[in-house]
Structure 1
Amino acid sequence: MDYSHCVDLLAKLHENSHGLPRGARQANVPRLLKALGHPERELRGMLVVGTNGKGSTCAFAVSAVAATGARVGSMPSPHLQEPRERIRIDGVPITRAEYAAAFAEVWRTIERHGLPVLPQGVFATTAAAHFRRAGVGLVVAEASIGGSRAAAAELDLDVKVVTGVGLDHTRLLGDSLTRIARAKIAAVRDGDHVVLGRLAPEATTAAEQVLRERTGLSVWRVDHEIRYTARAAGDRGPGTLVDVTTPRAVHRDLPCPLTGAHQHHNLAVAIAAVDAMAERGHIRAPDGERLRARLAATRWPGRLELVPDAHLDDWTGRVLLEGATNPQGTATVAPEILRHARADGHPRPPVLVFAAMDDKDVSGMLAPLPSHWPLVLTRTGSHQAADTATLHGRLAPGRRGPCVTAEDPRSALHRAAELAGPGGLLVVLGSLRLVGETRTVLGLRPE
């Protein structure tokens, strides 16, 4: 089985040819792991759940664990350009050949035992199979949607991290912060070490209710057991330095290379989770200088990622990629988007290129950005993507800027470039799939 065959099979999983309900396919994940010989039993580490900030938190955590000298696997979700991005060692995606080998092992087992699963189940079990092949026992895993129902929760990692809770995926998780918080915190099992990011009061109450149902927990919370402060690096160079205090250690002058004040919180949560792993004996405490060096090199593509010299045929300009997928996420990154818009005084306003899944609050996602900015609506190749007519129908009535549609991201980018003019700024947001397809159009390699 070659890599392209793996990609084709993954695409067909969404068709659900067996006609099984979602719950039945979720229930097959532990059965599949058993049939594979329980590769998850060799793993230890953290599972990161939450509405926003999971990927950045995982990226910081991988850097921090790698600073101990240990090899660390990670499982970001979703991928931007290729499925192999979902399985990484020391932050680097595995090769296509490595992915195909692990995927083939899983797929043969699915067929031999008759265990159809959701795509997320294939992603999680393929990662576990590869980590066993590579001899990697430390893992930083990202849950896709929800908590206890996420396939990655079946790996039974005993440090659970909740980055935050917001209104998203309401059809699956519920239409209130209480329900969504309960769905995510439900990933916590007896005896776990829990790291809680900053939560709204309603979500905090729900989380506490779930945690009281568990036994033997250790719980660290931002603004309580975990505290952090951030400041400009000053004469140490550009960027921000963050001090993080946990019950285990005080970490000073940690560089935060990812932009936006929200990343200071994500860094603090990641460091606390790594301290929790050290508390559990999974790793040794990282050396301060190596930790700072590793953190300084952290990258997380597609999140306020600026391509300063982007080319589209004969157009050259700037493209800002942001994978905010809900109103809370867009509101969080809006100040940084506006900062980029003001950066060079270009005579024309930035042009938004937008796509989203069919269950998203489109007007809420666009509300934090100026309504006079031109908007290009498009549709990605995802089977869950909303078409442009649906997106247009969900725009706020008072939107003032011009709005056009394009059939796919490539044509949308070219239309946006025409509107922005030479040297202008394109802001691509609303869907991580859109960000990934844009990176491909711009000739950027998966990373």
Structure 2
Amino acid sequence: MPQLLKALGDPGRNLRGMTVVGTNGKGSTCAFAVSALAAAGMRIGSMPSPHLQHVTERIRINGEPVSSLACHHAFAKVEDTLRSTGLVVNVGGVHAAAAAVHFALSGVDLAVMEASIGGQRTAVNCFDTGVKVITGVGLDHQHLLGSTLGEIARNKAGIVRDGDHVVLGELPGEAAKAVDDVLSQHTELTVWRLHREIHCRPRTARDGHTVLEVATPHAVHQELPCPLRGEHQHRNLALAVAGIDALAERGLIRDISQEALRSGLAATRWPGRLELLAPARFGSWTGSLLLDSADNHQGVTAVAPEILTHSRGAEHTAIVFGALGYKNVATMLEPLPGDWPVVLTRVGHPNEAAPDAMRTALAPRRELHVREETADAVDHAVELVGDGGLVIVLGTHLLVGRVRELFQLPPG
């Protein structure tokens, strides 16, 4: 990756901003940060990973995907350079390099970089943004990152460099110790931890909505709206605000006004994360559709309370589920009721979990159905719940993206 960037003219050499890693919550944290910074009048580049429907989602300016033409030009430059040099990088490296190329060409004030997997070897580790956020650590991608929380945490903490400002989310004991061990090997760090230097307090506003107070060593922010569903998003918002305060502490930005912060946070949208369509229509069916790309036990545990809340208003509920083959499918749906019917389907990836294999792994659940094609799986789920019922689409982003296309939802 460093050789590729050098051959491209080092398009990321002047990129400053924040890099976000973690097992879950990366995308939402980045979305909050981008929206708030853009509302303050800055031009913000970001590179979410993965995309749901179209590769243009991976290169964004102020939260909006770039045009297909701009995306094509950026990727073409990277691919031409790979051919001419004979260099080989992974897909994540190609995406990160293309984003850096576009940011250099179009000009950005700051970049918000999301790691795809891990930290130490992730492609975005080639960019010295200055602020590093670790949202959390859980058991996922063990085949790449290690089999224990400590090993995974050390890998993610590998994103840190001397002199960085580090923002840490909630970390279980083993992971916290591993991260502290890595941080102790660096010099001139500033470290803010959730529940220590960073505090987040929810309260109910007069209109009945929940607003947050987020306090960091830099500032106290009050009456912050959180438009994304689920209490776990409160933590993600707090980390995003702390990351913004860290940028100000480093002198990379001026303090943004509370008005801009609130309006930016309120405007945050992040498709495929507890995304509710009500009413939703599929053929002659009318009901509710809830989409979430949680694809590990920790992620499903986080969104389960919100899913259960929505299910109380529906007479019948069913799940459409798909996953990649290396995921621990057996435990993924444990946080959800065992008597909900589950329709298992393919997700169109070479490493997908086969529906029959998932049925074996999920055998303790009461009612399992298999439909090979996504459209057939959704069609069967709506038959199971009937009009007014709730269909939950859960699992890999690949499935969520396919269902968004079925319901003709635009990429975003």
TM-score with structure 1 setting the length: 0.91
Partner residue, 1:362: 329
Partner residue, 2:51: 79
CA RMSD of aligned residues (A): 1.0
Paired residue type of 1:293: S
**Displacement, 1:215?**
1.1
Out of 367, 385, 389, the position equivalent to 2:352 is 385
Q: Secondary structure at the match of 2:12?
A: helix
**Displacement, 1:126?**
0.3
Q: Secondary structure at the match of 2:277?
A: strand
The number of residue pairs the alignment matches comes to 412
**Displacement, 1:188?**
0.5
Out of 260, 282, 289, the position equivalent to 1:312 is 282
1:307-335 deviation per Cα after TM superposition (whole angstroms, max 9, x unaligned): 11222222222110011110011111111
Contact in 2 for aligned 1:68/1:285 (Cα 8 Å) = no
1:229-258 deviation per Cα after TM superposition (whole angstroms, max 9, x unaligned): 01122x2x3532110111111111110111
Partner residue, 1:9: none
Partner residue, 1:105: 77
**Displacement, 1:296?**
0.7
Partner residue, 1:41: 13
Paired residue type of 1:77: S
Partner residue, 2:97: 125
Contact in 2 for aligned 1:196/1:220 (Cα 8 Å) = yes
Q: Secondary structure at the match of 1:197?
A: strand
- Unpaired stretches in structure 1, ≥5 consecutive residues: 1-28
Which residues of 2 match residues 14-53 of structure 1 at below 5 A?
A: 29-53=1-25
Work out the CA distance in 2 between the residues paired with 1:254 and 1:323.
25
Are 1:223 and 2:195 matched, yes or no? yes
Partner residue, 1:373: 340
Work out the CA distance in 2 between the residues paired with 1:189 and 1:211.
9
TM-score with structure 2 setting the length: 0.98
1:117-168 deviation per Cα after TM superposition (whole angstroms, max 9, x unaligned): 1110110000000001111141001001100111111122111000000001
Contact in 2 for aligned 1:68/1:284 (Cα 8 Å) = no
Out of 111, 115, 120, the position equivalent to 1:139 is 111
Partner residue, 1:167: 139
Partner residue, 1:413: 378
Are 1:399 and 2:371 matched, yes or no? no
Q: Secondary structure at the match of 1:191?
A: coil
Partner residue, 1:427: 392
Q: Secondary structure at the match of 2:156?
A: helix
Partner residue, 2:304: 334
Task: Percent identity, please.
Answer: 54
Out of 158, 169, 175, the position equivalent to 1:203 is 175
Work out the CA distance in 2 between the residues paired with 1:243 and 1:310.
34
Work out the CA distance in 2 between the residues paired with 1:255 and 1:279.
23
Q: Secondary structure at the match of 2:211?
A: strand
Contact in 2 for aligned 1:302/1:323 (Cα 8 Å) = yes
Over 4 Å off, 4+ runs: none
Paired residue type of 2:47: M
Are 1:152 and 2:162 matched, yes or no? no
**Displacement, 1:98?**
0.8
Partner residue, 1:23: none
Contact in 1 for aligned 2:346/2:354 (Cα 8 Å) = yes
